[in-house]
Amino acid sequence: MYDVILFDLDGTLTDPKPGITKSVQYALEKMGIVENDLEKLTIFIGPPLIASFKEYYHMNDDEAKQALVYYRERFSQVGLYENAVYEGIKELLEKLQSQGKTLFVATSKPTIFSIKILEHFGLIHFFKAVIGSELDGTRVEKSDVIQFVLSQVDQSAAQKIIMVGDRKFDIVGAQENGIDVVGVSYGYGSCDELILAKPNHIVNTVPELEQLLCI
């Protein structure tokens, strides 16, 4: 049974689709790129944004960094609140806390934005710490985020630690740090993406996640 649980934020605890896609759309427009289909921008949910701007819109390093600046113009004021907690998540966190589990948030989203989101939705008190990336571009890879969280955990309990996330980045990051991981298919990673990444567990709903994590 798992005593320490690391949760991804976007696509795992909350559905950030409107805020992220509209902020990416805003950034692209400022860069001279018109993208009217927000559905195409859901690929930005999860991985580091600079890498996504480079991969999906063929930007160079400087262009991607500028696009990130534009993204944050909108996201920091509006986008982070265009978000919703998945049904059943608050009840799951309450149950895990009542059972004495130690909970962390481990996300590639900047820590400052992650804390604001969790405070806004009344979830912050469930977590021992919220660990994300830094605004200066450091600690953006999920493996680095997880490594930092684990530095605050007694390593003798390594077999009782699990990461929960919806993308392959969460799974690979956990695997690189030697901990178990569960992929949730209700987020933004496809079933094929999760299966190929080979997590220890895959669940399709929040109730299934509760069944796995709770005593």
**Statement: residue 159 has pLDDT above 80:** no
How far apart are alpha carbons 67 and 70 in whole angstroms? 5
- Facing residues of 107 across strands? none
> Looking at residues 133-144, what average pLDDT do you find?
91
What's the pTM value of the predicted model, to 2 decimals? 0.92
CB-based contact 191:185 (threshold 8 Å): yes
* CA gap 33, 27 in Å, rounded: 9
pLDDT in the model for residue 90: 98
**The CATH fold of domain 4-15+83-213:** Rossmann fold (3.40.50)
pLDDT at res. 178:
93
Q: Which carries the bigger pLDDT value, residue 137 or residue 9?
A: 9
What distance lies between CA 20 and its chain's CA centroid?
12
| d(C-alpha 70, C-alpha 84), whole Å | 23
SS3 8: coil
Residue 8: active-site member: yes
Strand order in the sheet with 4-7: 129-133, 102-110, 4-7, 161-165, 180-184, 201-203
Question: Which CATH architecture does the domain made up of 17-81 adopt?
Answer: Orthogonal Bundle (1.10)
- Condensed to tens digits (0 to 9), the pLDDT of residues 69-121 reads 999 999 999 999 999 999 999 999 999 999 999 999 999 999 999 999 999 99
Residue 158 in this model has a pLDDT that exceeds 90 = no
Task: Name the band, by pLDDT with cuts 50, 70 and 90, for residue 154.
Answer: confident
- Split at pLDDT 50, 70, 90, the class of 143 is very high
- C-alpha 83/C-alpha 99 separation (Å) is 28
Task: Reply yes or no on whether the pLDDT at 157 is more than 80.
Answer: no
**Residue 215 pLDDT greater than 90, yes or no:** no
* β-pairing verdict for 84-85 and 14-15: antiparallel
Q: How far apart are CA 207 and CA 69, in angstroms?
A: 38
What whole-number percentage of the chain has pLDDT above 90?
Answer: 92
pLDDT value of position 137? 82
- Structure-token pair, residue 46: 């999860």
Domain boundaries, the chain: 4-15+83-213, 17-81
| Contact present, 106 and 93 (Cβ < 8 Å) | no
Question: pLDDT digits over 41-73, tens only?
Answer: 999 998 899 999 999 999 999 999 999 999 999
Residues 158-168 have a mean pLDDT of 92
Judged by DSSP in three states, 19 sits in: helix
Q: Which of 170, 132, 149, 176 is nearest to 11 (CA)?
A: 170
Candidate list 8, 144, 166, 170, residue with the active-site label: 8
